[in-house]
Each structure stands twice: as C-alpha cells, then as structure tokens.
A and B are shown apart, each in its own frame.
Chain A
Amino acid sequence: MSLDPAMAGTAASPPRLSLHGWGTPITLLAAWLLLIAATGIYRPDFLSHQTLLAITFTMAIVGVMAIGQALVAISGGFLDLSQPSALILSSLVAVRLAEAGLPLPLIVVAAVLTGMAWGCCNAAIIVFGKLNPVIVTLATNFIGLAALFLVFQLAQAPLGSGLHGLGRTAHLGLPAIWWPMVILILLVGFMLPRTRYGRRAIAVGGNKFAAKARGISLRATRFAAFTAAGGFVGFAAVLFAASSGPFNPASGNNLQLNVIAAVILAGISLAGGRGSLWMLLLSVGFLSTIPTALVFFGLSSDMQSIFQGFILLVAVAIDGYRARRNTP
C-alpha cells in the first residue's frame, strides 16, 4: 500500500501502488491487537464501550493534526513544529466566534482559514527565506506561544454553544469529533496520490532535483503543503476547542510528540516522498490505546511518558533504518 517514490509519478503519469509494502500495516495492526488482547486478558472490563470512547476521543485531535504533519513530511518539509501554536490560535478564534454566537459551520471555516494563514506565514518564511523548515517552525512556535500568552490566559467554548455540544455528542456510539478524523484520513489518503498537487508533493519530497527537472515548482509545492497542513491544524483546533474544556496558550504542547510519533509509526518518511496516510488510522489508534491500557495495568502517568518516549525512539529508529535501506 505504500507509495514508492521512484514510481510516484507526475502530472502525466498516475502513480503506481506497490503491494509489497504491507509490513508497516501488518506490524502496526498486530501490535495494536496484541496490546488490546493482553490488556483484555489482564482486565476483561478493558473491552468495553467506555474504553472505546476514551480511545476514540484521544484519537480525534491527534489524527487530524497528523494529517497535516504527514503532508509536510511527505513533501520533504520534514516536520512542522509550530502545530501547537497554530492549534491554540485557531482554537481561540473558534471560541471567540462561538462566544459571539456564530453558527458552527462558520466557526469551522474561520478556524481552518486561521490555520491556513498560519501555514502560509510559515511557508513564506521557509520558501522565500530559503530556511530550514524545522528551525523556522520551531521559531514561529515560540513566537506564537509568547504572543498568545499576551493575548489571553484561558479560553473555553461557551456552555450550551454548538461548539461545546460538538465535543460531547456521539454518532453511532462513537464521539462526533472522531468521525471527521476518520473521513479526512481516508479522503486525503485516497486523494494524495491521485491528484496533481498530491503527486507533486510526493515527487518533491521523494527527489526534489528530479521533480524540478520535470518542471514542478518546488516553491509552490512546499507553499501548498504548509498551507494545507495549517488548514488541517485549524480543523483539529475546532475539535480541540469543542472537547478540551478550558485551555491556555500552552495546552497544545503535549500533543506534539504524539502527532510526530503517529506520523513516523505510520511509515511516513520524514525524509519525504514516502508513506500512506491511511496508516495513520492504525498508528494513531495504537498510540491512543497505550495510555488507556497502561491505566488498566495500574501504571502511573510517569510510566506512560516513559512508554511514549520509548515508542517514539523505536519509531525514529525504524524510520532511519528504512531511509538507509532505500538509499542507493
């Protein structure tokens, strides 16, 4: 299912999917099922609707943010480290509009546009300044956090508003905020290798010299990737503002590592050009199940942090191994 960079294709030739790349999904699925089975055996009440709700709530925001991060990674931008600031800025916009009584669809549009504007700023600095995306987004995250701290201390969706209700309702027994995450991952995962912009992003991430030789604009592609990524963070912000209760400028920081870990575990190369967004469903699900399972095992939150750090380390090691293997 993974996209082979060598076959990523261009606007003229559609990409071909290689079917030999089932290792990542099978490994992820096996690890996830093993975790569920082990916890279920240790504590049979783990296999309950309450657990399902807890995990799916946790998945929703991380999943949508991971789409944006994956787009940046696939297009060769490595990582967007400014996601926490973008998330809180867009969440603040969403809350303020909810306080003003605007309907939810307008709030969603405004938050997404805010996220895209943030992504545009990042892209402009990276593309026109020809600067390292990691350093730029690290810097904009710092600037954003400090600026947000000057603007507000605490914000929360007004009780009884549509935004507040979104974070507490369920469809088909699962959180209302979970479904958009699933739909977006499936949709973007489907469209990425099948649209001109998607193919260009993959091509630029895979081999920017070859992409340039084919007439693909590196600037425009990277600009589009960061802007689109900002849009997804803007949408995640709606889910965050709806479900998180009171938040402060630093409340998004804890999500960063989970998002990056989810992208790497999904087999999306930080070197660019490779990876399937569909795998995010498995990696985000697996990562969201771990803390819940650890609670059932009676382990403390400190142990949870150790586990998450360890998994990130393993994921980075796997990514590095893949990169070396694919280097001619």
Chain B
Amino acid sequence: MMRKTLRAAAMTAVAIPAIVMAAGAANAQDDTFKVGMAVGGNPCCDWMKAQGDVARALAEQRGWEYLELSNNNDPAVAVQNAQIFAQEGVDVVIQFNGQPSSNPAVAQILGAANIPAITYDIAQEGMYFVGIDNLAAGIAGGEALGQIVKERWNCEPDLVISAEGAVAGIVNEWRTGGMRTGLKNVCPDIPEEKWVSFESQGDAAVGLPAARDLLASHPDAEKMAVVGLNDGGVLAAIQAAEQLGRAEEMIGWGQDGAFITGDNVNPHLVGSVFYFLEGYAVYAFRDIIDPIAAGNPPPVKWEAGDPASRVEPCPVTAEQAAEVPDMDERVEQLLAAPEGTTAFELFCPTA
C-alpha cells in the first residue's frame, strides 16, 4: 500500500511539471501568428489550389503558422471551416468561397470569434475585400471583344453567345453581364434577338452539349461572338462550333485567363482577362495581414467598389497572352520577387 502511494506520488511529481511544460509550449505556440486559409476547392480551376500554395509560402516566409482547409465548393463546408478556424484560434482568415450564399454565416462566426477575415472576389460585409472589380473586368473584356467585332463585322454579328455560369451568382452577372455591357458600349445597335445564352457551368466539358444544342437551334448563324463567365465556358461554345463545322467565323473572349496561355490555345479564343488569381495573397498580406500582425489593423473595407485591396484586371489578346508564363512559372517568379510585388506588375503585358 505504501509502495503504491509512493509510486503515485512520484508519477504525480513527474506529470505535473510535464503538463506545465506542455502548457507553456502551447502558450509559446499561441504567440506565433497564425493564418487560416479556406481555398475554394472547386476541381474546375487549378488557381484555387495555387491561391493556397502562395498564401502558405508567404506565411512561411514570415515564420508564421499556416492552416489550410478546403471549402470543397460547398456552402455548408465553408461554414464548418469557419468554425474550425475559430476553434483553432487563428489570427486571421483568408477565404475564397465560390458559393457565396454561406458568406454571411462565415462572417458572423469569424466576427464572433474576433478573427479578422479576408474574402477574395466576392464581397461580404464585415470581411476585408481583396479582389478584382468583376464588373469592370467584364466590361473591359467586352469592350476589347467589341473592337474586334467592329473591325471584322462592322458590329453586325449573327449571334452574340453568353456562356453563363449561374452557380457563380452575382459574379456571373458581373462578369458575363459586364462583357455584354462592354460589347454594347462599342456596338450599341446589335438587335436584342441576336443575344443568346447557354448554361456552361464554367466548364468546357460540362457546357459542351448545351452549347451544341444552342448552336443547332440557330443553324444560320455564322458570325458569332462569345462572352462568358470564364475561359472554360467560352471554350464550350467554341468546341461546339468546331464539332458542328461552324467555328470558322466564331470568336470568343474569356475571363480569368485559364486557357489563353501555353501551347494549346484554341485559335478562336482571341482574348481573355487575366486576374492572376493565384497571386491574390500578395495583396492580402501586403495591405491587410502584415499591418494586422504589426498591431495596426486597417479599417475593414468590404465593398468591391471601395476594396481593402484592389486587384487590377489585365485584358489581353491571345498574342499578348503568349508573353505571359503559365501559372506554375508565375507562382515561382512571384514568390521569388521582392516582397509586395504583385503578379499584375510582373506579368501583365498591357500594364
């Protein structure tokens, strides 16, 4: 009995300091600035993963901790991720949420936990807005395409096709609608019946059958201009025209620059608008996170029109885009550049 009591006392004597030391270590860890990142998680787009890679690299450069979760392009998962970030006690959260219906809940959870949050491209009250002015990017792309439509067809196309991506919500309205507005700015007299749409879901392969059906329902159209949510959606229409033997006079101008670089560019994709989405973290760190870490948090500017950090759109023709390196190369160069240098400054040929 005595021996057992002694053993218990000895174990307690060893355990208590160990627990105290562990707690101390945990407290020491808590002192390290911790960045949480919720990537979009939509398999459509490799830039979503790259956004996380760049944020991780920038956090590591600063000696900070980094916790990355994926929103899986699912609003419910985005809310769960916000709860995890709150439980983990991160100091700041960055997110790209392609399903913005959950943004109010995410903002509420992070706000309750006093965690400053940065949202890319889709504005949400209470969260720092970093991103492109999607409407401006849409209009810029539409005007650039309009110039080509004016030069080639004297503003008299047979059809203007919109490759919609309804799931992107307001972003689709800004980009695709903005492109229509931009095109109308240059060619205001295109009759209403010539404007048609199909649901591309922002994915060339998924949108292809719908694009084929749309073209089949306009069998006489030859001079066709395509605008859309992104390059993938626009490509759906171009591929459909190729398959129906009607691509000769089709021209498309995309958004996001996903398919305008490299040696596999479709010749009918005549231009796109680069946002250099992979490099958004540079803006977020430079303008928001670094000041927060230094104890000087900037005011929360959450509106796209008056953002906490504005990303410049970079409209380019296919020829200009040929000068732009592919995304992996861009990420490499971006991380090697002096701190705070943006991808727009490094790579935009029209800057």
A interface residues, Cβ below 8 angstroms from B: 43, 45-46, 48, 50-51, 53-54, 57-58, 145, 149, 153-154, 156, 158-159, 167-168, 170, 175, 240, 243-251, 254, 291-292, 294-296, 300-301, 304
Task: Please tell me the number of chain B residues within 8 Å of chain A, measured between CB atoms.
Answer: 34
Closest chain-A Cβ to B273's Cβ sits at a distance in Å of 18
Closest chain-A Cβ to B186's Cβ sits at a distance in Å of 28
A91 to B230, CA, bound (A): 23
Assuming the A-B contacts A50-B244, A53-B243, are A295 and B216 also in contact, with contact meaning beta carbons closer than 8 angstroms in the complex? yes
Q: Which of A240, A250, A292 contacts B44 (CB 8 A)?
A: A250
B43 touches A45 (CB 8 A): no
A168 touches B216 (CB 8 A): no
**Which of chain A's residues have a CB closer than 8 A to the CB of B236?**
245
**Which of chain B's residues have a CB closer than 8 A to the CB of A251?**
203, 205-206
A170 to B243, CA, bound (A): 9
A301 to B165, CA, bound (A): 11
Closest chain-A Cβ to B4's Cβ sits at a distance in Å of 49
Closest chain-A Cβ to B124's Cβ sits at a distance in Å of 26
- Can you list 27 contacts pairing A with B, beta carbon distance less than 8 Å? A48-B216, A48-B219, A53-B245, A57-B243, A145-B43, A153-B45, A153-B49, A154-B46, A156-B204, A244-B204, A245-B205, A245-B208, A246-B204, A246-B232, A247-B203, A248-B43, A248-B203, A249-B43, A250-B43, A251-B206, A254-B206, A292-B212, A292-B216, A295-B210, A295-B214, A295-B216, A301-B210
A326 to B310, CA, bound (A): 67
A245 to B238, CA, bound (A): 10
User: What residue in chain B is nearest A148 (Cβ atoms)?
Assistant: B43
**Which of chain A's residues have a CB closer than 8 A to the CB of B243?**
53, 57, 167-168, 175, 243
Most chain B beta carbons < 10 A, residue from A48, A158, A246, A292 = A246
The verdict on B319 contacting chain A, using a C-beta distance below 8 Å, is no
Q: Which of A149, A175, A250, A296 contacts B217 (CB 8 A)?
A: A296
Closest chain-A Cβ to B253's Cβ sits at a distance in Å of 17
The verdict on B264 contacting chain A, using a C-beta distance below 8 Å, is yes
A43 to B216, CA, bound (A): 12
The verdict on B144 contacting chain A, using a C-beta distance below 8 Å, is no
**Which of chain B's residues have a CB closer than 8 A to the CB of A153?**
43, 45-46, 49
A54 touches B216 (CB 8 A): yes
**Which of chain A's residues have a CB closer than 8 A to the CB of B43?**
145, 149, 153, 248-250
Identify 15 new A-B residue pairs, CB closer than 8 A, beyond the known A54-B212, A54-B244, A245-B208: A43-B217, A48-B219, A53-B212, A53-B243, A53-B244, A54-B209, A54-B213, A156-B264, A168-B243, A245-B236, A245-B266, A246-B235, A292-B216, A294-B213, A295-B217
User: What residue in chain A is nearest B50 (Cβ atoms)?
Assistant: A153
A170 to B44, CA, bound (A): 29
Most chain A beta carbons < 10 A, residue from B204, B219, B243, B266 = B243
Assuming the A-B contacts A168-B242, A291-B210, are A247 and B205 also in contact, with contact meaning beta carbons closer than 8 angstroms in the complex? yes
